[in-house]
A and B are shown apart, each in its own frame.
Chain A
Amino acid sequence: MKRFFAQCYIWLLLVVLYAPIVFIAVFSFTESKVLGNWTGFSTKLYTNLFTGDMQGSGSLMSAIQNTLLIALVAASISTLIGTIAAIGIHNMKGRGKQAITFLNNIPMLNPDIITGVSLFLLFVFLHISQGYTTVILAHITFCTPYVVLSVLPKLTQMNPNIYEAALDLGATPFYALRKVLLPILKPGMVSGFILAFTMSLDDFAVTFFTRGTIGLDTLSTYIYTDARKGGLTPELRPMITILFVGILALLIIINLRKARAAEKANAK
C-alpha cells in the first residue's frame, strides 16, 4: 500500500514535470503556426527543419553550428588547460595551492549573470571587440574548473611510485608522462570534457554578455531573441523534440549499462 502511494507520487510528479515537453512534442506533428491549435497530423515541420525550407532557417542553422563549434573548441581547450593545471596543482603545496583552488572554485559558484557581466566589463576595459573569440574565452573560463575537478581525484588516487618506477626503468619523463600518467588521467579527462561540452552547450547568460554586437547567435540566444519577437518559430518544436528524445535515449542507455555493469560486479 505504501509502495502504491509512493509510486503514485513519483509518477504524478513526472507527468506534471514532463507535460510541457510532451505538449511541444505532440504539437510538433501539426502544421499550425499557433501552438495549441491542432490542424491535423503532419510531418511538415520536420521536413522544413531538415530541408531548411522555413523563415530564417539560415540563421537557425548557423546558430546550431556556432553552438557546436564553440562547445567543441571550448571543451577541447579546457580539457588541455585543465589537465595540465591539475597536474601542477596536485604537486603544489601550502598557500599557492589554496589560492589557486579558491580561484578555481569561483566560476563554479558564481551565477552565470555575474560571470557574464564581469567578463563583459573585462573586455570593455581591455578594449577587446567582442565576438567568437570572447565567447570562446568566456566558455573556457567557466568550463576549465570542472575539468580540473574531474582530473584531480585521479591524481590523488594514483600511486606516485608507478611514475617513479617508469623513470627508474629508463623511461624519459615525456615517455613516462605519455605511457603512465596519461592513461591514468584519461577517464577524468573524458568526464571533464563531457561536462565542459554540456556546460558550454547549455550556456545562455555568459554568451549573451560576451557575444558583442556582430550578430553572433548560439542556439540559446537564438531562441531567446526568437521568443521575444513573439512566439516560438514553429520549426523549433520538432528541434526541441529531437534534442529531447536524443538526450533521453542516451541517458537511459548509459544508466542501464551502468546498472548492468554493477550487477555483474556484484555477481562476482
Chain B
Amino acid sequence: MTKRSTWALPYAIFLVLFVALPLILIMFYAFRDAGGDFTFGNFVKFFTDKDAIETFALSLEVAIENTGICILLGYPAAWILANKKLNKSAVTIVLFIMPMWINALMRTLATAELFNVLGFQLGKGTLLAGMVYDYLPFMIYPIYNILEKMDKSYAEAASDLGATPWQVFWKVQVPLSMPGVISGIMMVFMPTVSTFAISEFLTNNKIKLFGTIIQENINSGMWNYGAALSLVMLVIIGITSLLQDSKKNLNEGRV
C-alpha cells in the first residue's frame, strides 16, 4: 500500500494550479497598477475613498447584526428541536434544513418580491430581514446537531447536584454547545460579509455591500483594484477562521 501515496500527486498539482496559484494571483494583481508595475496605489485608493470605507463598514455591520439575530432566533429553535420532550416530529427539522438545499438566489428573490408586495420600503431593514431568512437554517443546523448528540447525563448530573434548570442551561448546556454555535457563526458570517447578488435584490440596488463593489470592479475591467478589495476581504475571512481555530483548540484543551 505504500506506493499508493503517489496517487495524491495529480490532485496535489491540481490544487497548486487551481487553489494556490489563483490566491497568489490575487496578491499579485492587488499590488500592480494597470500597466503591470508594482504599486500600493490600489490600497491607498481604498483607504482614502470614503464611500468604499463606508461600504466596507456597512458590510461588516450587516454581517455582525445578521449573525447576532440568527443566534438569538436560531438557538432556541435548535434547542427545542433537539429536545425530545418538546418536539417529537422528525419532519420539523427537515423543514428547517430544507431551505439550505434551495438555490439562495431563488429564495432571496421570493423574499424580495414578498417584501415588495407587502409594501415594505426596500432598504436596510429588508436587507437584514432577507439575510436572516437566507441564513437562519445555517445557524440552526449545526447547533441542533451538537445539542442532539450531547450526552444527557451531564445535565442530569448537574441537576442532581442541585443546579436549577436555568443554571443547567447556562452552565452546562450552553458551554457544551459552543462548537455548534461557532460553526454556525462561520456558516452565517462568512457568506453574509462576502455576499453580492443578494444585497442587490433585497434593496433594489439602493444599498451596496462590499461584495458588490468587488464584482463591479472586476466586471468593468478594474482587475487590480478588484483584486486589492478581494485581498482585504480575504484578511477578514482569515481573521474569522483564526478565531474558530483558537476556540477549537481551547475546547479540545478543556476535554
Contact = CB atoms under 8 A, between A and B. Distances in A.
Interface in B116-171: 116-117, 133, 136-137
Interface string A219-237: 1100110011000100000
Nearest to B90: A259
Contacts of B191: 111-112
B8 A88 contact: yes
Contacts of A119: 18, 22
B251 interface: no
Nearest to B109: A227
B65 interface: no
A81 B110 contact: no
Nearest to B29: A121
A92 B86 CA distance: 47
Contact of A121 (B11, B19, B22, B117): B22
B215 A113 contact: yes
B4 A111 contact: no
A198 B201 CA distance: 23
A247 B102 contact: yes
A108 B237 CA distance: 12
B102 A244 contact: yes
Interface in A37-65: none
Contacts of B116: 35-36
Contacts of B114: 19-20, 23
B7 A87 contact: yes
B16 interface: yes
Contact of B12 (A100, A110, A255): A100
Interface stretch (B39-47, B173-181, B226-234): B226-234
B255 interface: no
B254 interface: no
Nearest to B110: A20
**Looking at chain B, what size class is its interface with the partner chain?**
35 or more
B26 interface: yes
A35 B103 CA distance: 20
Contact of A6 (B14, B87, B230, B233): B87
Contacts of B201: 227
A107 B15 CA distance: 10
A117 B200 CA distance: 19
Given A14-B95, A23-B113, A204-B197, A100 B25 contact: no
A114 B99 contact: no
A95 interface: no
Interface string B207-222: 0000100110010000
B246 interface: no
B81 interface: yes
A177 to B, nearest CB: 10
A121 B233 CA distance: 16
B77 A84 contact: no
B52 interface: no
Nearest to B95: A14
Interface of B: 1-2, 4-12, 14-23, 25-26, 28-29, 73, 76-77, 80-81, 83, 85-87, 90-99, 101-107, 109-111, 113-114, 116-117, 133, 136-137, 190-191, 193-197, 200-201, 211, 214-215, 218, 223, 226-227, 230, 233-234, 237, 241
4 A-B pairs with the lowest CB-CB distances in the bound complex, closest first: A88-B8, A88-B7, A85-B11, A118-B22
